[in-house]
């Protein structure tokens, strides 16, 4: 099969397409013929070597959608030909930018008819991230106020929709050019993250009970300033919050909670994926595909995921 691999850590130029053997699924795994894989910032961290997954050469990519090709002996509930999607690969095991992937069955869910492979791949990692942040960690409830930083991003645009679907009032930030489209995703208030009076305008929209923050290094003090008493702040970014809350007095006086999380720790990925699949099928969450790339342009896709601005997700179609 054709698979994208890096044989050494470095820039996007270390990515190449190799012809390698198809993986054999273990007893608890599925072999999936990959129709779409999504690109995430974490793929670039693994490629650069800032976190090192398994031994090189390594296949990047966490998300996939495709058709089941073979079913491991111990796997129930899936059959050859099923349309599925999944995430959580590319870290403890090889990734998804390949024609086939062997995946543990507990990181997979069925993709409903009418939901495209590209949508399945696009929603998987960012959807599980948004779910773990807003539902598992923050316990977001209807009519609470939720601030999502970066509502045009991969995580952000799904988090806005998930929060709105729970009945929360969503405030989000994004570049001006995306505001109309993010309004349509269900945000009640969309603000330019570059405006000088951002804190005042967030407060005017309602002090948030929950904050989803992908740049805690930049916004920890901001979050503490605008948050409601007892607010829950979940940090997902690649942050180094060296100062900690000791230097943010509002965190103590408002009794704020801050949680740093990793999507890869989600205990039951397939259960979350199943809920996301239902939400997409019901039109509650619409993953936006900004651009698609063939397998031999994954280097460009990884360059763009860090260097370009877009609304939604970049997807690879082998
Ligand atoms: N912990 C986890 O489990 C987990 C899971 C997924 C992602 N992440 C991390 O979360 C971050 C976001 O991931 P992603 O996939 O959503 O990335 P993404 O698709 O590249 O989105 C990043 C967003 O940040 C916006 N942005 C840039 N500067 C900003 C600022 N000063 N204030 C607010 N927003 C700003 C960008 O908007 P413009 O394009 O308009 O500048 C863009 O929409 C990354 O660091 C990623 O590694 C962590």
Give me the CATH number covering residue 245: 3.40.50.720
Per-residue pLDDT at 242 = 58
For residue 86, what is the domain's CATH number?
A: 3.90.180.10
Supply the residue whose CA is at minimum distance from atom 33 of ligand 1.
150
SS3 148: strand
Comparing 50-54, 253-257, 312-316, which segment has the lowest mean pLDDT? Answer: 50-54
The answer to whether the CB of 129 is under 6 A from ligand 1 is yes
Per-residue pLDDT at 245 = 66
Could you give the CA distance from residue 20 to residue 265 in angstroms, rounded to a whole number?
30
29 and 90 belong to one structural domain: yes
- Rg (Cα) of the chain, in Å, rounded? 19
pLDDT tens by residue, 63-87? 999 999 999 999 999 999 999 999 9
195 and 226 belong to one structural domain: yes
228 and 173 belong to one structural domain: yes
Ligand 1 midpoint to CA 260 (Å): 15
Under a CB-based contact definition with an 8 Å cutoff, are residues 67 and 84 in contact? yes
- Domain-embedded: residue 230: yes
- Give residue 252's pLDDT band: very low, low, confident or very high (50, 70, 90): confident
| Strand partners for 213 | 235
Ligand 1 midpoint to CA 181 (Å): 17
The answer to whether the CB of 262 is under 6 A from ligand 1 is yes
136 and 90 belong to one structural domain: no
The answer to whether the CB of 173 is under 6 A from ligand 1 is yes
Comparing 20-34, 85-99, 247-261, which segment has the lowest mean pLDDT? Answer: 247-261
Instruction: Please give the DSSP secondary-structure letter assigned to residue 214.
Output: S
Range of the domain at 51: 2-110+288-316
- Tell whether pTM > 0.85: yes
Strands 15-19, 2-6: pairing is antiparallel
Ligand 1 mutation pick, 39, 47, 153, max ligand atoms within 8 A of CB: 153
Under a CB-based contact definition with an 8 Å cutoff, are residues 239 and 261 in contact? no
Ligand 1 midpoint to CA 155 (Å): 7
Strand order across the beta sheet in which 189-191 lies: 189-191, 169-173, 145-148, 210-213, 232-235, 257-260
- Tally of domains within the chain: 2
Other CB atoms closer than 10 Å to residue 104's CB: what's the count?
A: 20
Instruction: Please give the DSSP secondary-structure letter assigned to residue 246.
Output: G
């Amino acid at each position: 099969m054709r698979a994208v691999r890096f044989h050494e850590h470095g820039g996007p130029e270390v990515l190449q397409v190799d012809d390698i053997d198809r993986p054999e699924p273990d007893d608890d795994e599925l072999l999936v013929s990959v129709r779409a894989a999504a690109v995430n910032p974490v793929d670039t961290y693994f490629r650069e070597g800032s976190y090192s997954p398994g031994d090189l050469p390594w296949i990047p990519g966490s998300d996939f959608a495709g058709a089941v090709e073979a079913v491991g002996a111990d796997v129930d509930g899936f059959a050859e030909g099923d349309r599925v999607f999944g995430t959580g690969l590319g870290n403890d095991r090889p990734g998804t930018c390949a024609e086939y992937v062997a995946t543990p069955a507990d990181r997979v869910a069925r993709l409903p008819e009418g939901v495209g492979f590209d949508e399945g791949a696009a929603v998987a990692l960012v959807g599980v991230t948004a779910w773990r942040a807003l539902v598992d960690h923050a316990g977001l409830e209807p009519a609470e106020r939720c601030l999502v930083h970066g509502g045009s991003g991969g995580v952000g645009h799904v988090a806005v929709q998930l929060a709105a679907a729970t009945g929360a009032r969503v405030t989000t930030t994004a570049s001006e050019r995306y505001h109309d489209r993010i309004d349509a995703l269900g945000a009640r208030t969309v603000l330019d993250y570059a405006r000088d009076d951002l804190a005042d305008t967030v407060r005017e929209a309602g002090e948030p009970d929950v904050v989803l923050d992908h740049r805690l290094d930049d916004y920890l003090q901001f979050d503490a300033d605008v948050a409601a008493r007892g607010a829950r702040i979940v940090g997902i970014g690649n942050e180094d919050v060296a100062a900690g809350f000791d230097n943010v007095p509002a965190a103590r006086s408002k009794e704020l909670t801050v949680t740093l999380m990793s999507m890869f720790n989600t205990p039951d990925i397939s259960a979350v994926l199943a809920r996301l699949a239902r939400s997409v099928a019901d039109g509650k969450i619409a993953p936006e595909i900004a651009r698609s790339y063939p397998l031999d342009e994954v280097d460009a896709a990884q360059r763009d995921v860090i260097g370009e601005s877009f609304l939604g997700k970049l997807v690879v179609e082998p």
